[in-house]
Structure formats: C-alpha cells, structure tokens
Chain A
Amino acid sequence: MTVPITPINAGSAPGDKTGWKARQSFVQVNANEAAIKVAIELLQGRHWTLDNAARTLALGERIKSSIHGGITHTLQAVFVGVATAERDVWVWNADSADNVTLAPGSGDEIFLNGVGQGADTTITLTPAQIAFCSIRVDNASWDVIVFGALADDSVTYAKIQNIVDDERVLGRVSGADGIIEELTQIQVLTFLAITNGIGALTAGEVNQLENIGGTTITTADWIALAALVGVNTGDEVVASTTEVTTGSDATKYLSPSALNGATPKLAGIDFGSSGAAADILDEYEEGTWTPVLHDNSNSSGEGQTYDNQVGKYTKVGNICHFSCFLDVAGLGTLTTSEQARVAGLPFASVSTSNYRAGGGVGHGSGMSITAGTSVSWRMEASVSLMKLFNSDVGTGSSSLPISELSASGTVSFSGVYEVA
C-alpha cells in the first residue's frame, strides 16, 4: 500500500542544506482510513532531508534524517491507526557526539536502527518518554544502553535472571571472573564447605538432615545427632507429637515425624512407668539355626547325616520363637537306645532351676512309633537342645529313643522358650 505525502509547511526548499531555518516541518501521511502523522521539530539543526517531499511514501518506508553537529534534536512522531510492524522510523545519526531526543506520543512505538555509527553517540529518552516506549537493542557489537542513574527498585528479581530449573541459587563457581551462574544444590553445599549428607555433625550442620537424600545414616551419625539434641546413654526416648527437645532432662522426646523412615538404635522401650527391667523390651533379632540330632553324648561328630536341616528363630525380648524341620538321612554311630535330642538351638535356655518349656511336634514322618501316639519336645534349664518324647504311656510321655525316630524320620515343629 502506498500513500501520498503532502508537505504542510516547509521552511525552505528540500535540498537547501545551508539556509533551512524552519522551526517545524510537518508531514502527514494518509492511508485509506488509517493515518500517519509525523511531526518533526528541529529546535536547532542543520537540515532535515526527506528523499523527496513530493514523492509517494510506502507505509513502513524509511524516513531518513541526517543530523549533525553535536546538537540536541527533537523528533516527534505520532502514529495513528497503523499496525506496529508499519511504525518503522529509521534514524541515522551519522556523526559522533550527536544526541537525539525522541518524543513519541502515548501508545506509539519507535524503532531505532542504525543508530550509533559514532562510538560516543547517545540517544536520550526522558522518563516520560520511556513510559511510552519499548527499547530493543539488536547489535551487540555497537548498541549499548547506559543508565546514568538507575533507581534501586527499578531492577526487579525478574530482571536479574530467568532461572531455568528449580532448586537453583544464583552465584558463581567457575574459576574465573564472569557473570552469575545458576548453582545446583551440590554446588551450594560445596561452596559452603558442607558435605552432602552427614559427616561429622556440628551444631551448625544439623540442617543437613534436610539434605540427606539417599545417604545412609550411620550409627556414628545418630550418636552425633543424639549428642547434639542432648540425648545421652540411658535416657528414655518417648514417641510424642512434641518436637525434639534439648536439655539435661532424663526424658527426651522424638517426634513421630523425626522417626518416620529412620531406623533409630535404641537401648530399649519401656512399657512401664517404674523403669524395671521386666518392663523394658530391649532386644529383637531374626536369624537361622541348624538343628542336629544327638544322643546322650551331645555330639555332632557321630556320623549323623541329614536330608534337610532348617531352623529359624525370632527373638523378642527374652523369648525365642523358633521353628524346626529335621529330616534325618542316617544315624551314623548314634546310640539308638538313647533318647533323641534335637540340638543346635540359637540361644541357651534360662538357667532358672527346674525350668521347662515344651510343645508338640506338629508333623512327623518316617518314624517307627506306635500308631495313635504323638511326639512332643521338652527343653530344660540352661541348655540349647530339646529332648523328644512319645505319648505312649498312661502316665504321659516316655523318652523317644533314636531308634523310633529312625534313620528316615522327619519332625517339624515350632515353639517358644525363655533364653538366658
């Protein structure tokens, strides 16, 4: 689209570069229903040159000015009803030390290109004019924006850096001077000389607990933490909604959230109020044991052989819960007339005089016992074996000889007993 240019008031003829003293020149461009009005005021100037004031100017076509002499000029451009892409005013500032002041109207945009052919040329926008403008600098090698006085609150956080990832802190860790960088969590910890995870904790490093991640907390870590919060050996640790407290009180509280997911090492849990040993659960352990068949000699070196020996236990407090599967394959030189004993239990029984524990054998096979009878076991004080019995007498049970267990016998049972 093209529109005619109609000079309104020209002080002198175009091309008269020495005698043009006009204070104002007005050029109005009409484009159908749209209109462009350009008001150029030369407060003091040598000349203002349009290529040809009488020619046809296309929308968006360059309006060229050639301003010289280190004198402040004012270019006032008003664009009405024209798309942004067509508001293209080009300003040539050929000489150094020329200062150009632009005064756009409200809602207008002025694009400056090719400005700065002189290295010390500046373009000054007053605060009121800045309110109407967006500033874009395209040429990194020449175009520099210098702020003579920038208010502190003129630079917002958003203007500092658009951080591209989360959990970043601005700083610099590169070896040389340079622009700020986005620091990762690890870099920040390195910068602060803090190990990621818990090393030798000091009071100031307790906050590292928030950064443990997948790091395993060692016994030493917990001991260090306990020391920091004032929990000492022998102190009570009580689950509570109260946060961890410090101090010299005998009772310390750890909140459920502090214990969540952790494996605290405790001396015990007191279920009573008196502190009596009988009220304290102080041990838990799971494991295996190997059941073996003995005669009275209590020896495993008599050539006994087995198809299966499976024993498992869980010790809770002073009670051992065990299971046993003993599958005999050969008796070796065991004395078959002697009572069958299943030995190898994981803990010795309590030494209380006349202590007895006992139970039934849940399943047996391959034995040579009287039909209708059942096998049981009994454990006595201060031993780690069980004797087997058979309920084949009217008074109760009699000893089960190894011959009745036989070389192909199996027994499966479980039970509990009190440990020493």
Chain B
Amino acid sequence: MALTEETVYQIEVTRDEHVQVRATRVIYDDGVEISSSHHRKVIMPGDDYSAESTRIKRICQQMHSTEAIAYRQAFNTLKQARENQTIVQTVYDADSTQANLDALNAAIATRQQAKIDFDVAKVTYKASVA
C-alpha cells in the first residue's frame, strides 16, 4: 500500500474578473483514488496573489489587468463613500450642527466624485475587455 496525493485545481473566472479557485486534494492508494476534498477561495482584482501557485498567478496576471483593478478599487471606493454618507447623514439627522452639515456635504462630495471615478473606471475596463 503506497499512499500518494496531489492537488488538482479548478479555476474559473467569473464576472468582474473574480478568479474562483477550487483546490481538490486527492489521496491515492497504489494509484487508486480513495478520497478527495475541496478547498475554495476567491481572488479579486487588487487582491494579493503572490503566494499562489504559478498557474494561479499566471491567470491572475492575465485577468487582473490595470483596468480591472482600477475598476474594482473604484467600485469599493464608491461603496465605501455611500456607506459613509449614510452614516454621516444619520449623525446630522440626529444633531443638525454646522459641523455635522459640513461633514455631510463633504461626504456627499466624496461620494459624487467616487461615482464619477467609478463610471470612468467602468468604461475603461469594459473597453479593455471588449
């Protein structure tokens, strides 16, 4: 009886260049598969994949282009700006001071700029993959 193992990767790229990785560890007994188990992760544009296997790194390098990473970051920034505006709005609604109003206006401006940046990044990204 000789036990051996190998890891088999199933890699798929979904919308927005998410690289979904399924690593299947397969155990063999004299060449006959006796068990296997899956482990998954998702690598998004902008994520650090330097510790991944060569094969995964190649795919991430190919899919996570500068445009894709910028689009993803703009998306995250816009989401964060929206959430921040909601929080500041709540604070202002509870305490309508000038300082809170200034903070709300700043949050609105940030969100608006984030939306402009997101739209630009989206167009740039879409053009890069068209």
Does chain A bind chain B? yes
Does residue B66 face the partner (Cβ distance < 8 Å to A)? no
- Evaluate contact between A382 and B18: CB separation under 8 angstroms: yes
B20: min CB distance to chain A, Å? 6
Complex Cα–Cα for A140 and B39 (A): 74
Q: Which residues in window 260-312 of A have CB below 8 A to B?
A: 285-290, 296, 298-301
Complex Cα–Cα for A299 and B48 (A): 7
CB contact under 8 A between A346 and B42, given known A301-B48, A380-B79: yes
Does residue B80 face the partner (Cβ distance < 8 Å to A)? yes
- Evaluate contact between A287 and B39: CB separation under 8 angstroms: yes
- Evaluate contact between A347 and B76: CB separation under 8 angstroms: no
Does residue B57 face the partner (Cβ distance < 8 Å to A)? no
- Evaluate contact between B15 and A296: CB separation under 8 angstroms: no
Q: Which residues in window 82-130 of B have CB below 8 A to A?
A: 83, 87, 90
- Evaluate contact between A420 and B14: CB separation under 8 angstroms: yes
- Evaluate contact between B18 and A384: CB separation under 8 angstroms: yes
- Evaluate contact between B18 and A346: CB separation under 8 angstroms: no
Does residue B30 face the partner (Cβ distance < 8 Å to A)? no
CB contact under 8 A between A216 and B14, given known A287-B22, A298-B76, A347-B20: no
Report, as a range, how many residues of chain A touch the other chain.
Answer: 20 to 34
Q: Within 8 Å CB of A348, what residues of B?
A: 14, 16, 18, 20, 42, 44
Does residue A345 face the partner (Cβ distance < 8 Å to B)? yes
Main secondary structure of the interface of B (DSSP, over half): mixed
Q: Which residues in window 37-56 of B have CB below 8 A to A?
A: 37-42, 44, 46-48
A368: min CB distance to chain B, Å? 20
Q: Within 8 Å CB of A393, what residues of B?
A: 90
Q: Within 8 Å CB of A384, what residues of B?
A: 18, 41-42, 44
Task: Please report B residues at the A interface, Cβ cutoff 8 Å.
Answer: 14-16, 18, 20, 22, 32, 37-42, 44, 46-48, 75-76, 79-80, 83, 87, 90
Complex Cα–Cα for A299 and B39 (A): 20
Task: Please report A residues at the B interface, Cβ cutoff 8 Å.
Answer: 216, 285-290, 296, 298-301, 313, 344-348, 351, 380, 382-384, 393, 395, 398-399, 420
Complex Cα–Cα for A351 and B16 (A): 9
- Evaluate contact between A285 and B38: CB separation under 8 angstroms: yes
- Evaluate contact between A288 and B37: CB separation under 8 angstroms: yes
Q: Within 8 Å CB of B14, what residues of A?
A: 348, 420
- Evaluate contact between B39 and A290: CB separation under 8 angstroms: yes
A45: min CB distance to chain B, Å? 79
CB contact under 8 A between A216 and B32, given known A296-B80, A300-B48, A382-B15: yes
Complex Cα–Cα for A362 and B26 (A): 33
Q: Within 8 Å CB of A289, what residues of B?
A: 39-41
Main secondary structure of the interface of A (DSSP, over half): loop
- Evaluate contact between A298 and B47: CB separation under 8 angstroms: yes
Complex Cα–Cα for A348 and B40 (A): 11
Q: Within 8 Å CB of B48, what residues of A?
A: 299-301
In chain B, what residue has the closest Cβ to A216? B32
Interface CB pairs A-B, < 8 A, 16: A285-B38, A289-B40, A296-B76, A298-B76, A299-B48, A301-B48, A344-B41, A344-B42, A346-B41, A347-B40, A348-B14, A348-B44, A380-B79, A384-B42, A399-B83, A399-B87
CB contact under 8 A between A382 and B20, given known A287-B37, A296-B80, A347-B40: no
Complex Cα–Cα for A21 and B75 (A): 133
Complex Cα–Cα for A287 and B41 (A): 11
Q: Within 8 Å CB of B75, what residues of A?
A: 382
In chain A, what residue has the closest Cβ to B80? A296
List 8 A-B pairs, minimum CB-CB distance, nearest first. A287-B38, A346-B40, A384-B42, A348-B18, A420-B14, A288-B39, A348-B42, A351-B15
Q: Pick from B15, B40, B80, B90: contact of A287, CB below 8 A.
A: B40
Q: Within 8 Å CB of B42, what residues of A?
A: 344-348, 384
B50: min CB distance to chain A, Å? 9
Complex Cα–Cα for A289 and B16 (A): 21
Complex Cα–Cα for A346 and B41 (A): 5
Complex Cα–Cα for A21 and B46 (A): 128
In chain B, what residue has the closest Cβ to A299? B48
Q: Pick from B18, B40, B76, B79: contact of A420, CB below 8 A.
A: B18
Complex Cα–Cα for A245 and B107 (A): 67
Q: Within 8 Å CB of A290, what residues of B?
A: 39, 41
Q: Within 8 Å CB of B41, what residues of A?
A: 289-290, 344, 346, 384
Q: Which of B42, B44, B46 has the largest count of A CB atoms less than 10 A from its CB?
A: B42
- Evaluate contact between A420 and B15: CB separation under 8 angstroms: yes
In chain B, what residue has the closest Cβ to A394? B94
In chain B, what residue has the closest Cβ to A384? B42
Complex Cα–Cα for A299 and B44 (A): 11
In chain B, what residue has the closest Cβ to A286? B38
B70: min CB distance to chain A, Å? 15
Known: A288-B40, A351-B15. 20 other contacts (CB 8 A): A216-B32, A285-B38, A287-B40, A288-B39, A289-B41, A290-B39, A296-B76, A296-B80, A298-B44, A313-B40, A344-B41, A346-B20, A347-B42, A348-B18, A351-B16, A380-B79, A382-B18, A383-B44, A384-B42, A384-B44
